[in-house]
Amino acid sequence: MLVATLLTNPDRPILDRALVENLRNAWGGGAARWLDPGIAAEFKLEAQPDTFWQVWQDLQTIGVDLAVQPAEGRRKRLLIADMDSTMIQQECIDELADEAGVGAHVAGITARAMNGELDFEAALRERVGLLKGLPESVIADVLRDRITLMPGGPALLATMKAQGGHAALVSGGFTAFTKAVATRLGFDENRANTLDVENGALTGTVMAPILGKAAKVDALLEISTRIGITPSDVIAVGDGANDLPMLQAAGTGVALHAKPAVQAQCAIRVNHGDLTALLYLQGYSRGDFAA
């Protein structure tokens, strides 16, 4: 048995009852269940519709996301999340680069790396090299003044933790940021790269080994084993090419506002919803959300 989930941006509750019922009827689905009026609904299906991707594309044009997945086992016990442009709305290295006066140049490299056009490790080393001499104190300034949480993140963490879930923030960014974001949101653990510092300034290098796409999969597998579950019990979320193997290894991999090259290889794509989409995809209703 499968379940189809339709959802949209909670700030624009445009999901129409007629749209949901028309699609349910066209696909021969079960009774619609509203997870949040105007924002998220679902219905059961016997099989994946042949028209799925055409309908998905049509719904994208009106601001609605659509996913079809197995109904059984969709509530997960482990959340593995990317940080930059996923749990927060910024790319930390771009914000540091802006403080160093090379923001536009570094942002261009970041965009290409996240779309899979550049080798992640080489691109990271190049960008970090451009930060040489930046005072370490700037990190605290960026965290305070520039970093904002992705909408829906606090509800996602609180709800999964309230249900006994474990949460890990696994980033190709930097520990100076993941530690702060993980503490703020309630992650159980965090992993990232460490910027080298000498005499109060960034040296332009990063400690080896670099946490890239392989390390994200390793984290998923290691944490799953440690807490006694399998990868099928994991929901993972990310947006960049370095997240792709992690998304594919998880029981549910969600490409959130992801780069085109990433979306092309992911079955579940959320382009309009926020991080609460991960709760709706697991079958949680708004009334189930933890405070």
- Any catalytic annotation for residue 243? no
Same domain, 189 and 290: yes
Rg over CA atoms, the chain: 20
**Do 258 and 143 belong to one domain?**
yes
* Domain final residue pick, 12, 40, 72: 72
Residues 149 and 278 in one domain: yes
Same domain, 86 and 3: no
Among 36, 82, 94, 233, the active-site one is 82
Q: Is there a single domain that holds both residue 109 and residue 208?
A: yes
Instruction: Assess whether 143 and 64 both reside in one domain.
Output: no
Same domain assignment for residues 50 and 122: no
Give the end of a domain, one of 72, 102, 130.
Answer: 72
Can you give the residue range of the structural domain that contains 203?
76-291
Report the first-to-last Cα separation within the chain, whole angstroms. 31
User: Is the C-alpha dihedral spanning 264, 12, 110, 187 positive or negative?
Assistant: negative
Same-domain check for residues 26 and 113: no
Residues 159, 269: one domain?
Answer: yes
CA angle 213, 6, 44 (to 5 degrees): 100
**What is the reported pLDDT for 148?**
98
Phi and psi at 196, nearest 5°, equal -75, 135
Share of the chain above pLDDT 70, in %: 100
Pick from 22, 8, 176, 32: nearest CA to 92: 176
* Parts of the chain with a pLDDT under 70: none
Query: Which CATH number characterizes residue 11's domain?
Result: 3.30.70
- CB-side neighbour CA atoms (13 Å) of 232: 6
Residues 176 and 244 in one domain: yes
Q: Which two tokens stand for residue 77?
A: 């016990």
Q: Are 21 and 159 in the same domain?
A: no
* Residues 204-229 pLDDT 10s: 999 999 999 999 999 999 999 999 99
Q: How many whole angstroms separate alpha carbon 26 and alpha carbon 53?
A: 14
**In a shared domain, residues 66 and 90:** no
**Number of domains the chain contains:** 2
Nearest to 239 by CA among 123, 94, 84, 90: 84
Measured on CA atoms in the order 246, 187, 124, 264, is the torsion positive or negative? positive
Q: Which CATH number is 254's domain given?
A: 3.40.50.1000
Q: Helix 175-185 and helix 137-145: axis angle, to 10°?
A: 40
119 is known as an active-site residue: no
Cα 62 from Cα 78, distance rounded (Å): 32
Which run of H or of E encompasses 222? helix 213-227
Instruction: Write down the pLDDT at residue 70.
Output: 97
Residues 6+ apart with CB under 8 A from 17: 32
- Give the span between the Cα atoms of 119 and 114, in whole angstroms: 9
pLDDT of residue 291: 74
Give tens-digit pLDDT for 137-189: 999 999 999 999 999 999 999 999 999 999 999 999 999 999 999 999 999 99
Instruction: Name the active-site residue from 36, 84, 94, 274.
Output: 84
Q: Which of residues 14, 41, 72 is at a domain's end?
A: 72
